[in-house]
Structure 1
Amino acid sequence: MANVANLEKRLLDLLDKKSSFVIALTGEWGIGKTQFWNSFKKKYNDQFKLRKYAYVSLFGIDSLESLKYEIAVKTHEVNQLEDRMQGAKSLFNKALDTVDLSSIQGKGLSLNIGKSLITSALSSLVSNTVICIDDVERISDSLSFKDVMGLVNDLKLEKNCQVIIILHEAKASEQFQEYKEKVLDEVLILDDNLDILETFITDELALDVMQLFYRTIRVKNLRFYNKVFNNYQKIIENIDSLSKTSKEYILKNLLIIRWIDEFQPEIPLDDDKSSFKATLDLFHDSNRNFIIMSDDDFLNQSDKLKAFRRYLDAFYPLFLFDNWTTHIISMLTNHDISEESIGNLLKRDVLSETKLQDELAHEQVIGEFHSLELQPDFCERLYYSACTKIQKSEMNNISFYCDILENCNRADLAQQLENHTKQFIKNEIKSSQSKPSIDNWYRFGRQPQDRFYDFIKNEIKNYRISNIKSSLISTIFLKFHDNNRNGWDSSDKDIISMIDKDILKELVWADLDDKKYRKHFIHSILLHPVLNEIEGKREEVRQWIIELLNEKTSVSPESEAPIKMWLSSTDNLTKNLF
């Protein structure tokens, strides 16, 4: 494996001599070939035996003369931080650009003025020079690869230059293979750039996590790590007093999410004969909602999600895809990792040290159970962790935790957990503004021996709204009206049954977008189908509306005429309800 240390040693052996050569430095996209070379040049600058140096990128160069010119202009002494002759060379360049060749030729003068003149004037600078030619795979269509390799060969043989060509061999011109044997003395392949991470990842914790990701997932693209590190810094600098564990949690999620988004990796399935491409769509259900992939949902996940988590196991055992990770995805896909966006997350308590620590503690204790290696105080830690999960886990999972505690001979903790859970269920159903559905508690269906299912069904059966909000009733009637009297749901029956005269008063005199249609809206209230499902309710509502209209005439006498005319034409709201 050609890692940084091995390549540095080989390059030093070559450069330690004054003899000429041509070598190619290759590697896959983003592995850091140019960064490696620049770092090497800076680190071992004093050991270059040839004392002149030039770096040229082929990107944007469209002719051989332009390439020669660039090499000549860029050549300078190795021990100079910059070329001291660059100013003079720039004057040549500026003078050339001001020459109007068509004007001169129009006067009958036959002058051959071009970059070749300056190249000739400067060519003496190029001999005995270390020359790096980068971006060979991005060569212009107007520049012949054959000519470039011919020039490189001349620099080696005629000018005694040491030439290093940097390219992604798999993407280079097919002609490269032809000239590879004729011109190149050696091909050096950079295929392990782990050490380069240390040159730009300045945070020790981040470096450790990224090196682990590199070794286990084998992503070698340095641009990828640089982007993740920038994202990570922007997030943690806006959160005070994050622990080391929480910072690791954030960075691991960032690495995984960016890896999926940028590379769409192929993940092997169980049979090892097939695979699938992982994208962020993997974490959405058929309705485009995020699938919360917590530890306790593992057994309910699809085969692809299970395979994905197993693939990550060496880097991030039982990878959590939770609400916090959902917000990270949102920030990345919307290209918004600003201080303001982080501040908004903090205000909504999405990023919370306590929450992060609770999630990590839960991950640890469940990991012990699945690995069959329980650590001291397992039952106590499972009990505490399960209590933090009651509000957001499926009841199947809480029931399973109770089973674990019982099987660990801690029936006392199992009973306490069951009691806490049932009390939470009762409070949630009691405070609900609409009749709950059993599906809210069992998204993936009921598991055998679940201890909460029948309890929840009974609580829902006995459900009664105890503290109805007038705004909720208003929303139901306004929705029916705004949808041309089509938007209604029979499950609203329990809510509508709670309507009284005070709530109706707010509804009748609600601030409508178009007040001239108030009569039409009041008719919509009386025509709502659910009123007919509640014995006597439609008539009760009609009587209340008449009373409210008459009360209006008492406080606003100017409204008496239109109100009485309307009640008369509808026979007190019993007919002509359009």
Structure 2
Amino acid sequence: MSVLAVEKALQVFLAKTGSSAMVLKGEWGVGKTFVWNRLIKNKREIIARKKYSYISLFGLSSLNDVKRSIFEGTIPACSAGEKIDLKEILTNVSDLQDYLNRGFRKVIKATTDAASIPYTKGLGGIADSLSFASVSDTLICIDDYERKGASLSDRDVLGLISLLVEQKNCSVILLSNTNENGEKTSFSQYAEKVFEYEVVLEPTLPETLSLVFDEGLESDRCCIQYASLLKISNIRLLHRIKKASDRLFAEAGPIDSFFLNQISQTLILGIWSIFSNDSKRVSLDFIKGYGRDYVYVSTISKDKRNPQHDSFAQVLMEYGYKYTDELDLSILLFVEKGFLDLVFYRAAIQNAVEKEAYSQSTLSLNQAWEKFHNSLHCDDIEVLTSFELAVEECLDKMSLSQLDSFCELMSDLGRYDVVDTTIEKFFRIWTSRNEPVDKSILFKFPKNKNLNNSYSDYVKANRVVKSIEQLVLPHAEQRSINEEDYLALAEIDGSEFKRLFKTQTGSYLWRCLEHCLAYGNISASSRESQDAFEKIFLKSYTVIQEIMQESKLNEVRLSKFRVYEEKYNNLVSKV
């Protein structure tokens, strides 16, 4: 039955004046509890009973536990759907005392002190019996039937429901999983004698999504879109998604619809990956590395492919997930750890906004490439015209790699004149900006020979002058070397090495010393690099010797570096 049909059936049950029992069935996570709680909160005025009690059988292992829970959870019907508080508990105790005054005056003296305790669990067996005896004219919802304690049998629960209906003038609804009760023969045996009828909740996916998300909110519409793609119908997962998305959007501030979609898409994918039981779900590690550690499968030869990764990639492609960037990673970590790193998240959003702005500014160039890649028609003039117009519009915003791709295409088409003219205009723009360029930050050098030569000339003319700290510390930390940096380091005066070593402290000091001396153990393929390595080593060890002579303490501190002395003497003898 649809949600609407189930709610109509439940309203009839709520308004019924005679005592009765029914079952609300549905698969696990379909939203039975949510639908019930929402209905009684919105339709309190039609409840025929004076009182209402909701209990969960989760972990309850005896009938006394169940009876006590019914009593403690009882509230006026006009408050149905609200959380029970101390005031309601005290009201229940007061009602129990009235019950005792009416029928058990001789017991009052023995139980008055105990009955004044708000939680009846500590009252003992007599008070438990008396408290349950006061239960009547109550609408009772019994939830989590399949999670009851092992020692609490089907017969016990159904017998209690029968007693409540037949002797206590109560209306009882049991929430039960269809996929569970079909296997319980004892339940089936007794259920038909206890319940008047059953209602099965079988909502469509759109109905389930509408229980959680508000289509009037753009953020919720995004969640509906992506939850639908993954066919997420479990109400608990959907509530988790709703809660997390509200947090992410609140912390993001005003953002474009493009990022609303990205945040929703990644959040739902992450929650589905971690918390869903779907056999097709993609591992979180794969998602984190998608587009970085794990590349698109068509780029990998068949003999090297991982079948599981092929399957994961296919799911992500069908879902429309292209790759994982910093913003995606910040969201996935939030889902995984349950903690939102606001600094990382907001920085990732800012970075993504800047990238999208750049993408929009070079949109015409992307469109020109689409014309080139997405058609085999002989439309040379149209494609070339698109590129010419795009480059004219975007040249001041193009990256070196974008220009490289354009130059390679024009060279393949024999348009060397266009290549030379475009490169000249490009570096004229860069020169006007007076922006220093560090060649080491490039992901890769230009493939086009003319562009590579022009860029090298530009770098030489606008070389970044780095301090010795900039040339040493990053590489000492990462245990790396960079050609441009070590060539520059080799030309720095020995006094700067001494200043560097004497101003560093802690782990930085020893990393600096070890990094600079390590050049003495490296063999280079070119003479220029080998000379640079030897210069750095000689200057470093010469300075260390000078510092060792300054005091006995420094001599002891630096004595471990004497292992380089033979290497040093051999190089000095060659100079």
TM-score by length of 1: 0.65
Q: Trace 1:421-460 onto structure 2 (pairs within 5 A).
A: 431-433=438-440, 452=447
Q: Which residue of 2 aligns with 1:79?
A: 78
The residue type equivalent to 1:506 in the other structure is E
Change in CA separation of 1:18 and 1:503 when aligned onto 2, cut-off 3 Å: farther
CA distance in 1 between partners of 2:388 and 2:29 (Å): 44
Q: Which residue of 2 aligns with 1:44?
A: 43
Which is helix-richer, 1 or 2? Answer: 2
Q: Which residue of 2 aligns with 1:249?
A: 262
Quick check: 1:283 aligned with 2:273? no
Change in CA separation of 1:342 and 1:526 when aligned onto 2, cut-off 3 Å: closer
Q: Is the 8 A contact 1:382 1:401 kept in 2?
A: no
Quick check: 1:574 aligned with 2:572? no
Aligned residues: 501
Quick check: 1:355 aligned with 2:362? no
Change in CA separation of 1:368 and 1:189 when aligned onto 2, cut-off 3 Å: farther
Q: Trace 1:37-436 onto structure 2 (pairs within 5 A).
A: 37-80=36-79, 85-89=91-95, 95=114, 113-120=126-133, 122=134, 125-126=135-136, 128-171=137-180, 174=184, 175-192=186-203, 194-195=206-207, 201=213, 204-263=217-276, 265-267=278-280, 277-283=281-287, 290-291=292-293, 300=299, 303-304=310-311, 306-312=313-319, 317=320, 319=322, 321-337=324-340, 339-345=342-348, 349-352=350-353, 355=356, 358=359, 391=399, 431-433=438-440
Q: Is the 8 A contact 1:23 1:185 kept in 2?
A: yes
Change in CA separation of 1:76 and 1:527 when aligned onto 2, cut-off 3 Å: closer
Shift of 1:227: 2.8
CA distance in 1 between partners of 2:389 and 2:29 (Å): 44
Residues 264-294 of structure 1: CA distance to partner in whole angstroms, max 9, x if unpaired? 6434xxxxxxxxx411222355xx984588x
Q: Is the 8 A contact 2:33 2:175 kept in 1?
A: yes
Change in CA separation of 1:14 and 1:333 when aligned onto 2, cut-off 3 Å: closer
CA distance in 2 between partners of 1:345 and 1:217 (Å): 25
> In structure 1, the residue corresponding to 2:489 is in which secondary structure?
coil
Shift of 1:544: 6.0
CA distance in 2 between partners of 1:543 and 1:310 (Å): 56
Counterpart among 491, 496, 508 of residue 486 in structure 2: 496
Residues 470-496 of structure 1: CA distance to partner in whole angstroms, max 9, x if unpaired? 34543598579xxxxxx777xx55643
Quick check: 1:507 aligned with 2:497? yes
Q: Is the 8 A contact 2:267 2:335 kept in 1?
A: no
Q: Is the 8 A contact 2:292 2:324 kept in 1?
A: no
Shift of 1:11: 1.9
Q: Is the 8 A contact 2:52 2:138 kept in 1?
A: yes
Q: Which residue of 1 aligns with 2:304?
A: none
The residue type equivalent to 1:228 in the other structure is I
Change in CA separation of 1:162 and 1:458 when aligned onto 2, cut-off 3 Å: same
Shift of 1:507: 2.6
Q: Is the 8 A contact 1:464 1:494 kept in 2?
A: no
Residues 440-494 of structure 1: CA distance to partner in whole angstroms, max 9, x if unpaired? 88xxxxxxxxxx56667878999987546334543598579xxxxxx777xx556
Q: Is the 8 A contact 2:396 2:426 kept in 1?
A: no
Q: Is the 8 A contact 1:27 1:168 kept in 2?
A: yes
The residue type equivalent to 1:433 in the other structure is S
CA distance in 1 between partners of 2:324 and 2:288 (Å): 11
The residue type equivalent to 1:303 in the other structure is D
CA distance in 2 between partners of 1:50 and 1:520 (Å): 82
Q: Is the 8 A contact 1:16 1:47 kept in 2?
A: yes
CA distance in 2 between partners of 1:495 and 1:140 (Å): 69
Shift of 1:255: 1.9
The residue type equivalent to 1:95 in the other structure is A
Residues 401-452 of structure 1: CA distance to partner in whole angstroms, max 9, x if unpaired? 979xx9xxxx9xx98998699979x999973238x785x88xxxxxxxxxx5
CA distance in 2 between partners of 1:176 and 1:41 (Å): 26
Q: Is the 8 A contact 1:58 1:139 kept in 2?
A: yes
Moved more, 540-549 or 187-196: 540-549
Shift of 1:25: 1.6
> In structure 1, the residue corresponding to 2:78 is in which secondary structure?
coil
The residue type equivalent to 2:199 in the other structure is L
Shift of 1:259: 1.9
Residues 294-341 of structure 1: CA distance to partner in whole angstroms, max 9, x if unpaired? xxx7964873354113432xxxx4655333212222333233325445
Q: CA RMSD in A?
A: 5.7
The residue type equivalent to 1:279 in the other structure is S
Change in CA separation of 1:6 and 1:543 when aligned onto 2, cut-off 3 Å: closer
The residue type equivalent to 1:12 in the other structure is Q
Q: Which residue of 2 aligns with 1:448?
A: none
CA distance in 1 between partners of 2:10 and 2:437 (Å): 75
Q: Is the 8 A contact 2:213 2:224 kept in 1?
A: no
Moved more, 352-361 or 189-198: 352-361
CA distance in 1 between partners of 2:262 and 2:480 (Å): 45
> In structure 2, the residue corresponding to 1:61 is in which secondary structure?
coil
Change in CA separation of 1:206 and 1:549 when aligned onto 2, cut-off 3 Å: closer
CA distance in 2 between partners of 1:208 and 1:16 (Å): 35
CA distance in 2 between partners of 1:28 and 1:388 (Å): 59
Shift of 1:8: 0.7
CA distance in 2 between partners of 1:115 and 1:464 (Å): 87
> In structure 1, the residue corresponding to 2:173 is in which secondary structure?
strand
CA distance in 2 between partners of 1:354 and 1:519 (Å): 40
Q: Is the 8 A contact 2:477 2:511 kept in 1?
A: no
> In structure 2, the residue corresponding to 1:497 is in which secondary structure?
helix
Residues 125-175 of structure 1: CA distance to partner in whole angstroms, max 9, x if unpaired? 42x432211111111123222111111123333444332101334346834
CA distance in 1 between partners of 2:142 and 2:285 (Å): 41
> In structure 2, the residue corresponding to 1:167 is in which secondary structure?
strand
Structure 2: runs of 5 or more not aligned: 98-110, 118-123, 301-308, 376-382, 556-560
Shift of 1:510: 2.5
> In structure 2, the residue corresponding to 1:350 is in which secondary structure?
helix
Q: Is the 8 A contact 1:292 1:322 kept in 2?
A: no
Q: Is the 8 A contact 2:25 2:175 kept in 1?
A: yes
Q: Is the 8 A contact 2:490 2:532 kept in 1?
A: no
CA distance in 1 between partners of 2:362 and 2:32 (Å): 41
Q: Is the 8 A contact 2:497 2:539 kept in 1?
A: no
Structure 1: runs of 5 or more not aligned: 99-110, 268-276, 442-451, 481-486
TM-score by length of 2: 0.66
CA distance in 2 between partners of 1:264 and 1:386 (Å): 48
CA distance in 1 between partners of 2:421 and 2:294 (Å): 23
CA distance in 1 between partners of 2:388 and 2:243 (Å): 35
Change in CA separation of 1:387 and 1:298 when aligned onto 2, cut-off 3 Å: farther
Change in CA separation of 1:371 and 1:24 when aligned onto 2, cut-off 3 Å: farther
> In structure 2, the residue corresponding to 1:278 is in which secondary structure?
coil
> In structure 1, the residue corresponding to 2:488 is in which secondary structure?
coil
CA distance in 1 between partners of 2:358 and 2:30 (Å): 35
